[in-house]
A and B are shown apart, each in its own frame.
Chain A
């Protein structure tokens, strides 16, 4: 599997810590956040390919709100929703807001990895398209190289 960056957001510290450890052990550059606010802070500083987000977090921002903000900060990061609850409506809403898919807790690491890989594939494909479009654009308007460099700097 290619190298990619993941962020896990869950209010359950035991779960968060262990999952981060296990993903890192599988060579995924993983960060963890205990709340929506913390996740958004981290995302402002670092780019991620896949975000795993628990939709039901009591206290603070809930999953859907967090998702909406995330998409503003990093529109290209794919988000996997994680739920221990039967809230179909929440999941549907999440999908409408651009989440990649939703998963039910508890989930085996293998299944999670498969889904993450799919999300990463999609993100990659997406990136490829953007890159190609940008190359075409640059071929047509070479002068814009400078502007894009600035944008890239801001993102990283």
Chain B
């Protein structure tokens, strides 16, 4: 009946508890994770920046070394010496020995004429006067070119230095091995997805990138995004992956060294940590949920039990309230009925008195009058008995306090009823605890209670059966139980058996006051009567008598 109420209560408690428990858990988890994520990301960016800078410095150093050795050769040799193939070849040998990565070496006069050359391509005789780098060298003293195809149709770049020898100005020019230079840059390629390459300010590849793109083609990177020192940008590639790019300018700001890295690959560590975190979080949630459900169930169950106890207590209280109210009403009704009854009785008595007089005896209907008057008296008596019983005054109005031996009282009561029981083939068994204390109480009233219960049991069985009368001591009270193997009392009747005038006996056989009076008597003594019955299996009435120790006289 009340189950949906408790179910919804349980659901609400669990829901609220879980929300309150999980909300901070989620908040804490996500805040910590996002903080860690930020820190980790910053670390990754710093690292890639550092690598870009370091690599750019390395490349710059490489270029400076090459320029330095080229300049040293130009400064230590005279023009006349250098145009001799033998000396030029010796210088080229020394340069490759000390620094390396030179492909060829040539001498160009101030008219742009290539006069001497050492290397795999025969470039002697070519005139560079029109080439833009020639002017640059003449004005600045040294020059590093971008990568270009040139006469030899291979991507390469050159470095050149100017020598002022009195009036004569000449240029020493060398080609850098693109493979050596390329591998120097590629040394910064890390992991499965890391890349490293150099682009010009316009965005042309100066070295071959690891993924999509060829040397001298246009890269998709906007070099303008990279400012003064080193910067990091994040870009989606064509596969939708987030790629981090770090760039560092070198070669006097002409070239940009770019290092790229797949962000996902770099963040693997934190993602693994995140997964462990989520796993632990889920574990915690499961534990909290299980505990919450478990404890809430126990709590709600306890609550339900307590409510049930309260309800049954309330039912008992209501029963006793109801009986008390009925008792008061009965007392009032008794007065109103007893007075008219008294008048009727006196009036009939008066008629009787008058009938007894000599002259009336001769009347024809004298006997009829007399019988009628007797009948009236009989029925007044009957009504009187009902009212008196109702008031519980069948014996005496006030309970007396005397020494009562409960077992003795039971034995006496059974002795009164034994004959009646035997006629109906009902066996009354006793199981009396001989240790029961003598109590102060009203033996006659107690006997009336027992008499009611046992005779009810006999009436319930009708024929052939047994009744068991037990007395035990339980703490501060004596419990007397009367059990029969009669037909039992149906559930819906159990509440009513103590009500006055409730009877199941055939008309006129029972007043329906026995159990009500018994209940009132026990209540006055501070005890109770309870019943336990199963339809079809018999009934047990338990009388609970408080132990009141008699005063010593």
Contacts and interface: CB of A to CB of B under 8 A. Distances in A.
Interface of A: 12, 14-15, 18-19, 21-22, 25, 56, 84-88, 91-92, 104-109
A84 B342 contact: yes
Given A14-B347, A18-B346, A85 B331 contact: yes
A116 B350 CA distance: 18
Contacts of A25: 353
Q: Which of A14, A84, A109 has the most B CB atoms < 10 Å from its CB?
A: A84
Interface stretch (B30-38, B333-341, B451-459): B333-341
Interface string B319-355: 0000000000011001101110111111101100100
Interface in B215-258: none
Contacts of A109: 346, 349
A92 B334 CA distance: 19
Given A86-B391, A86-B397, 4 more contacts: A21-B353, A106-B344, A107-B345, A108-B377
B91 to A, nearest CB: 144
B316 to A, nearest CB: 25
5 contacts: A12-B343, A14-B347, A91-B397, A106-B344, A109-B349
3 nearest A-B residue pairs (beta carbon): A84-B338, A106-B342, A105-B342
Interface string B382-417: 001000100101000110000000000000000000
Contact of B341 (A19, A22, A86, A105): A105
A107 B380 CA distance: 10
Contacts of A106: 338, 341-342, 344-346, 380, 384
A18 B347 contact: yes
A11 to B, nearest CB: 9
A14 B345 CA distance: 11
A14 B349 contact: no
Given A85-B331, A86-B334, A107 B349 contact: no
Given A85-B338, A88-B398, A104 B349 contact: no
Contacts of A91: 397
Q: Which of B338, B347, B393 has the most A CB atoms < 10 Å from its CB?
A: B338
Nearest to A86: B331
B343 A15 contact: yes
B339 A15 contact: yes
Given A22-B353, A104-B393, A105-B341, A85 B346 contact: no
A72 B269 CA distance: 113
A145 B305 CA distance: 86
Contacts of A87: 331
B387 to A, nearest CB: 9
A18 B342 CA distance: 10
A108 B346 CA distance: 8
A109 B353 CA distance: 11
Contacts of B337: 84
A75 B342 CA distance: 28
A21 B388 contact: no
Contacts of A86: 330-331, 334-335, 391, 393, 397
Nearest to A56: B335
Contacts of A18: 343, 346-347, 349-350
Contacts of A19: 346
Nearest to B344: A106
A84 B334 contact: yes
Contact of B342 (A21, A22, A88, A107): A107
A108 B345 contact: yes
Contacts of A56: 335
Given A86-B397, A91-B397, A92-B398, A21 B350 contact: yes
B189 to A, nearest CB: 113
Nearest to A85: B335
Contacts of B393: 86, 104
A105 B337 CA distance: 10
Q: Which of A56, A87, A105 has the most B CB atoms < 10 Å from its CB?
A: A105
A101 to B, nearest CB: 12
Q: Which of B346, B384, B393 has the most A CB atoms < 10 Å from its CB?
A: B346
A22 to B, nearest CB: 6
A105 B397 contact: no
B397 A22 contact: no
A25 B345 CA distance: 16
Interface in B275-334: 330-331, 334
B375 to A, nearest CB: 15
Nearest to B383: A106
A18 to B, nearest CB: 4
Contacts of B346: 14-15, 18-19, 22, 106, 109
A15 B338 CA distance: 12
B353 A84 contact: no
Contacts of B341: 84, 105-106
Contacts of B334: 84-86
Nearest to B345: A106
B339 A84 contact: yes
B344 A88 contact: no
Nearest to B334: A86
A111 B281 CA distance: 93
B335 A84 contact: yes
Q: Which of B342, B345, B391 has the most A CB atoms < 10 Å from its CB?
A: B342
B507 to A, nearest CB: 24
Contacts of B335: 56, 84-86
Nearest to B346: A18
Contacts of B349: 18, 22, 108-109
Contacts of A92: 398
A34 to B, nearest CB: 14
A104 B338 contact: yes
A87 B344 CA distance: 22
A17 B341 CA distance: 15
Q: Which of B335, B343, B345, B398 has the most A CB atoms < 10 Å from its CB?
A: B343
Contacts of A12: 339, 342-343
A109 B334 CA distance: 20
Contact of A105 (B338, B347, B391): B338
Contacts of B377: 108
Contacts of A84: 334-335, 337-339, 341-342
